[in-house]
A and B are shown apart, each in its own frame.
Chain A
């Protein structure tokens, strides 16, 4: 099976954080950058974890692990692997906010919405779009979409 995955080239990251801006836009109702930031409450949370220190920076999103520990640890079945694409997806309706996924994610990319007790955001590789928004809008190819062959 050929699967799409995002790879990170941290050497190329300039720290512009456009990936976050466009991730939020993609997750908004309007899909419009200005409306998403100025008119939608609560504003969607980005599926990206951004890290920065001095000259170093990178953006990271769900790795869509082949054997995802978050799916294994999920108490409700809200997290699951999509059979066709191998993407790790999250069903917000089933989620109760137990944070087991946050406990076991080795790279720490699942964010909690503690007040509403639900996983706030989980990268779905922009399932509705042709190309993930963070990839499409990264000006320096620090975030790249690749196709990988995985065992069936």
Chain B
């Protein structure tokens, strides 16, 4: 059995580990257009901020590929997929045959059309890729950048802001909606973070966007906002979002929606072709619909499940749900599932705020089951809330204790707790 994996990030790596647990012999090839061994994208902000050196970006070392007998092809872009002839062609004309193929091609940053923004405009960057981050760092150093503008106050935008602030760059962030991290957080949590951003000298402009980019030569010089505000800057980071990378499946019969649609075995609609990670649209545990959830733990699990199925060990994907852990401006935050429930749909919200400590805890219930949570500056034992969501535990008997500092397993029914700590079933 010949395995081919396109993409060398978290889904691809976990796929290899799963395959080798079942099939020690079958040749595995990973093909990536990146120049580097592998790297953890969430660590790019730590790298930008100077917290870690480049050699700490990898989450698996070189020995990993030797140990698992992986033929690693770097700096080659996969440009064509023929599902009938079962081969992938690369930009240099090489053709790679497969018996089982995994598409773990990730996402691509969205760059909206802006008047004045051209392909060759300098001083405009996205922030999800290592080589581009290196160019960004070079640019900051060479141009002695003191001030920058970030478009988009989502997760990537905020991590970019943090890295820039750590470098001593003053940041203005422009967000289209009325608050930061609107996809993950509610108004209260966002306002706590906004206060913290302001305390670090970051200007947050909301309900606005960039209408025009003015350049001097090719270099960005000034931004004109929709509101008419003008901001002088020579560095703009565009962080409005990421969409699944569908380039390779375009023109094939593989079914796509927002991402590459996969079934419970991570199979695409083409025979022996699987997909996992940020490019895949798989089962969401909470909505029971197929959704792109572009987060690390989902990519890891999907890659693993794909690997098991590719090597013949049939294993269904249980579906995960959105969750995030991000420390922003010294505030650790963790969120799970549904964080801003719609009115009138039978959701119950418990919350506790202590603004002096930037502490916020919010638990969202439906029919006495936890379906979401936001935790700011109170992340100890956060995983227990995630477990309550996954296990669908009825919390009626201890609802009043869910927000307590000492909340833990003691409130759970004894039999369930014993089962949980016995270590029998930790495969979530």
Residues of A within 8 A of B (CB): 5, 7-8, 10, 49, 51-53, 56, 58, 60, 63-69, 72-77, 94, 96-100, 102-108, 110-112, 114, 117
Contact = CB atoms under 8 A, between A and B. Distances in A.
Contact of B384 (A77, A108, A112): A108
19 contacts: A5-B423, A7-B422, A49-B408, A51-B408, A56-B410, A58-B410, A65-B423, A66-B423, A69-B426, A75-B42, A75-B296, A102-B334, A102-B382, A103-B324, A103-B382, A103-B386, A108-B384, A112-B379, A114-B330
A104 B297 contact: yes
B426 A102 contact: no
Contact of B51 (A51, A52, A96, A102): A96
B59 interface: yes
A76 B43 contact: yes
B423 A63 contact: yes
Interface in B399-428: 406, 408-411, 417-418, 420-423, 426-428
A106 B327 contact: no
B380 interface: yes
Contact of B325 (A63, A103, A106): A103
A77 B408 contact: no
A51 B406 contact: yes
Contacts of B51: 96
Contact of A64 (B40, B297, B334, B423): B423
B383 A105 contact: yes
Interface centre among A63, A75, A105 (most CB of B within 10 A): A75
B167 interface: no
Contact of B409 (A67, A73, A103, A108): A108
B351 interface: no
Contacts of A104: 297, 323, 383, 386, 428
A72 B300 contact: yes
A11 to B, nearest CB: 10
B301 interface: yes
B52 interface: yes
B179 interface: no
B423 A98 contact: no
Nearest to B385: A108
B381 interface: yes
Given A64-B423, A106-B420, A52 B410 contact: yes
A114 B410 contact: no
Contacts of A66: 423, 426-427
- Give the interface size class of chain B: 35 or more
A107 B387 contact: yes
A103 B323 contact: yes
A20 B406 CA distance: 17
Interface string B363-389: 000000000000000011111101100
A75 B59 contact: yes
Interface centre among A56, A68, A72, A110 (most CB of B within 10 A): A72
Contact of B428 (A49, A52, A69): A69
Nearest to A65: B426
A99 B325 contact: yes
A107 B422 contact: no
A7 B390 CA distance: 23
Contacts of A108: 380-384, 408-409
Given A58-B410, A75-B40, 20 more contacts: A64-B423, A66-B426, A69-B297, A72-B304, A75-B59, A76-B59, A98-B326, A99-B327, A102-B334, A102-B381, A103-B297, A103-B379, A104-B297, A104-B323, A107-B409, A107-B420, A108-B380, A108-B383, A111-B380, A117-B327
B56 interface: yes
A57 B323 CA distance: 30
A73 B410 contact: no
A51 B56 contact: no
B46 interface: yes
A112 B421 CA distance: 21
Contacts of B409: 51, 60, 107-108
Contacts of B323: 103-104
A104 B382 CA distance: 8
Contacts of A94: 56
B327 A98 contact: yes
B332 A99 contact: yes
Contacts of B384: 106-108
A116 B300 CA distance: 27
Contact of B60 (A8, A63, A65, A77): A77
Given A69-B426, A77-B58, A106-B387, A96 B46 contact: yes
Contacts of B334: 99, 102-103
A144 to B, nearest CB: 12
B300 A103 contact: no
A37 B326 CA distance: 33
